[in-house]
A and B are shown apart, each in its own frame.
Chain A
Amino acid sequence: MSLAVAAHTNASAASPILAATGLSARYGHIHALHGVDIRIGEGELVAVLGPNGAGKSTLLRAIMGLSANSGEVRFRGDVLPRSDAVAVASRGIVLVPEGRGLFAPMSVSDNLELGAYRLRDKAEFARRRDRVLTLFPRLKERLGQAAGSMSGGEQQMLALGRALMAGPKLLLLDEPSLGLAPRVTGEILETLGLLNREGLAIVLVEQKAPLALELAARVYLLSLGRIVAELDPRDITSHDDLARHYFA
């Protein structure tokens, strides 16, 4: 575990948008977290990598307050409540969950609208909607269609679009590439990169390391519910490098 403390003096670490310390959680029997510490800088895109069952989804759910958990999570310095996801969401932390969590029988338009459920300002709503439809022009063609009837890639776009409708300050993405063709994945990651360059902080959980490594400023490696390494993506040149860290 000594690698985990590798000194990455990242500029953004000074005033993090999110800082979790000693975060422990339980989800089912194996997907547990044991005292995880992570920090996300303002405007930073951080990837969390790890094998299946490492606790990646549990980590995001714990940050949101969706699963029973203990420890401390601060958002821009304020302590977040630990079991009130609605309160966490109201601070501007938005999760795109594993499997996207779309409302399948509802239309694309309704799904987008639900993303901005807490927003009552009509002008701002229209502005966000225009922005999402510009980012994902394909959704524009399918506004009246049931979300569940679209292709996987389109559904992922909608999930992302719906999250953006909430006006996030920190976006938590759980395996957005799952089940998608490489070309579509590329498109989505490109959009993520764009959003990040505009200043949106993102936590990207992935099993497919290479994709995440292209975008991320920093990488946490998660294994069996513990952070086993914190790395600079530029230091990782091959798959073997990663494997070495997992099994160190």
Chain B
Amino acid sequence: MTISPAITSPERRPPRLVGLLPWLFAVAVVGYAMVVGGYAATVVSFALIYAVFVTGLNLFMGFAAQVSFGQNAFAAIGGYGSAVLTATYGWSPLPAMVLGIAAALLAAAIVGFPALRLKGHYLAMGTLAIGLITYEITVEWQSVTQGYLGISGIPPFGIGPYEVTSDRGQLIMLALVVAACAFAAARIRRSRFGRALSAVAGSEEAATALGIDVSRYKLMAFLLSAGFAALAGSLFVHVVGYVSPEVFGLHMVIVTFTMLYVGGIGTVAGPLVGALIVSLLPETFRAFKDYQDLAYGAALILLLIYAPRGLASLFSPRGRS
């Protein structure tokens, strides 16, 4: 915890290698889980699924500086889409996932159009409502979702006759998906679209005055974010083989927000680093038994005090002051 404040000052550019540290950390953790397998593999697999979700959340909240408490709704749509189509209707996972994501995008477009006219607190409350309503639907629409009973027997991912069932196979698959998502986020950040999002984040009015169609870009970021969430939801149900409403409840909102802020909002590596740290921390404190939550909470507070802009920003080439 001895991080010199100079690193975060905007003038100084740390050498390239330092920027690679968050990625090396991620590779080390995934590699470790791959070697050890078992419980570590489960924890890291979940962390990687969350990383996909948080990468999407970061597009909307970090790149475009909007707030959404309701992205779990789209994870639920993607997850339940996959679960119902495969377990109930016997589809294979890939088309089920694609349709689940498409359904989530459609839902995001329908709610995003009016909701994104809201600003600040109103947008936050509106999105919170979307998450809560979706949760209620997954509980109440029992003929399709089976309510709290949940849906079991969801097949694992696979191409043709090859199914990814082993821990290591799943880790490799998830690591590849996360790498693709991080690459996409990095490309988006540097693209024309990404700069427009930064402008929206900086000042909606200034962006508008420069001829940037703010509401259109907000909607696009919202849709992209929903797509990532739906992908994560679908990955989750295929990896676990089971889904029930609690999976995509308010708990998910809290955990993913923590990951986003601990990792570093607005950075490219932040979502992955945050997802890994926030997933690993409670496990490292499991031996503390009843004090596990206390230790975890204390660790989070320390992280936010010493790295208020998130862990990844400590290593970003252009420290954002």
Direct contact between A and B in the complex (CB less than 8 angstroms)?
A: yes
Chain A residues close to B by CB (< 8 Å): 64, 66, 85-86, 89-90, 94-95, 97, 101-107, 110, 113-115, 117-118, 144-146, 148-149, 162, 166
B206 and A117 within 8 A (CB): no
Q: Which residue of A is nearest B212, CB measured?
A: A117
B10 and A145 within 8 A (CB): yes
B246 beta carbon closer than 8 Å to chain A:
no
Which 3 interchain pairs have the tightest Cβ spacing? A101-B206, A103-B202, A89-B211
Q: Which residue of B is nearest A98, CB measured?
A: B205
- A-B pairs with beta carbons under 8 Å apart, 5 shown: A85-B208, A101-B205, A103-B206, A106-B198, A114-B210
Q: Known interface pairs A110-B198, A145-B10. Does A103 touch B211 (Cβ–Cβ under 8 Å)?
A: no
Give which listed residue, A64, A107, A110, A146, contacts B209 with CB less than 8 A.
Answer: A64
Chain A residues, Cβ within 8 Å of B192? 117
A86 and B321 within 8 A (CB): no
B320 and A146 within 8 A (CB): yes
Chain B residues close to A by CB (< 8 Å): 10-11, 192, 195-196, 198-199, 201-203, 205-214, 318, 320-321
Chain B residues, Cβ within 8 Å of A90? 211
Q: What 11 additional pairs, Cβ within 8 angstroms, besides A114-B212, A146-B318?
A: A86-B208, A86-B213, A89-B208, A89-B209, A94-B210, A103-B202, A104-B202, A106-B202, A118-B211, A145-B10, A146-B321
Q: Known interface pairs A107-B318, A110-B198, A149-B10. Does A102 touch B208 (Cβ–Cβ under 8 Å)?
A: no
Q: Known interface pairs A103-B202, A104-B202, A105-B320. Does A89 touch B210 (Cβ–Cβ under 8 Å)?
A: yes
Chain B residues, Cβ within 8 Å of A148? 10, 321
A101 and B321 within 8 A (CB): no
Chain A nearest CB: distance from B221 CB in Å? 16
Cα–Cα distance between A107 and B317 once the two chains are bound (Å): 12
A117 and B202 within 8 A (CB): no
A101 and B209 within 8 A (CB): yes
Q: Which residue of B is nearest A100, CB measured?
A: B206
Chain A nearest CB: distance from B29 CB in Å? 29
Give which listed residue, B11, B195, B201, B205, contacts A66 with CB less than 8 A.
Answer: B205
Chain B residues, Cβ within 8 Å of A94? 209-210
Q: Known interface pairs A114-B195, A117-B196, A149-B10. Does A166 touch B210 (Cβ–Cβ under 8 Å)?
A: yes
Chain B nearest CB: distance from A58 CB in Å? 13
Q: Which residue of B is nearest A159, CB measured?
A: B206
Chain B residues, Cβ within 8 Å of A145? 10-11
Cα–Cα distance between A23 and B198 once the two chains are bound (Å): 33
B205 and A117 within 8 A (CB): no
Q: Known interface pairs A103-B199, A104-B202, A110-B198. Does A117 touch B10 (Cβ–Cβ under 8 Å)?
A: no
A66 and B199 within 8 A (CB): no
Q: Which residue of A is nearest B211, CB measured?
A: A89
Chain B residues, Cβ within 8 Å of A104? 202
B211 and A166 within 8 A (CB): yes
Q: Which residue of A is nearest B194, CB measured?
A: A110
Cα–Cα distance between A27 and B213 once the two chains are bound (Å): 21
Cα–Cα distance between A145 and B13 once the two chains are bound (Å): 10
Give which listed residue, A64, A101, A102, A146, contacts B10 with CB less than 8 A.
Answer: A146
Cα–Cα distance between A118 and B199 once the two chains are bound (Å): 13
Cα–Cα distance between A195 and B210 once the two chains are bound (Å): 19
Cα–Cα distance between A106 and B192 once the two chains are bound (Å): 14
B205 and A97 within 8 A (CB): yes
Q: Which residue of A is nearest B213, CB measured?
A: A86
Q: Known interface pairs A101-B203, A107-B318, A149-B10. Does A117 touch B198 (Cβ–Cβ under 8 Å)?
A: no
Chain A nearest CB: distance from B200 CB in Å? 10
Cα–Cα distance between A85 and B211 once the two chains are bound (Å): 7
Scoring A85, A145, A148 by chain B CB atoms within 10 A of each residue's CB, the highest score goes to A85
A117 and B209 within 8 A (CB): no
Q: Known interface pairs A107-B318, A146-B318, A149-B321. Does A102 touch B198 (Cβ–Cβ under 8 Å)?
A: no
Chain A nearest CB: distance from B47 CB in Å? 28
A110 and B210 within 8 A (CB): no
Chain A residues, Cβ within 8 Å of B211? 86, 89-90, 117-118, 166
Chain A nearest CB: distance from B272 CB in Å? 21
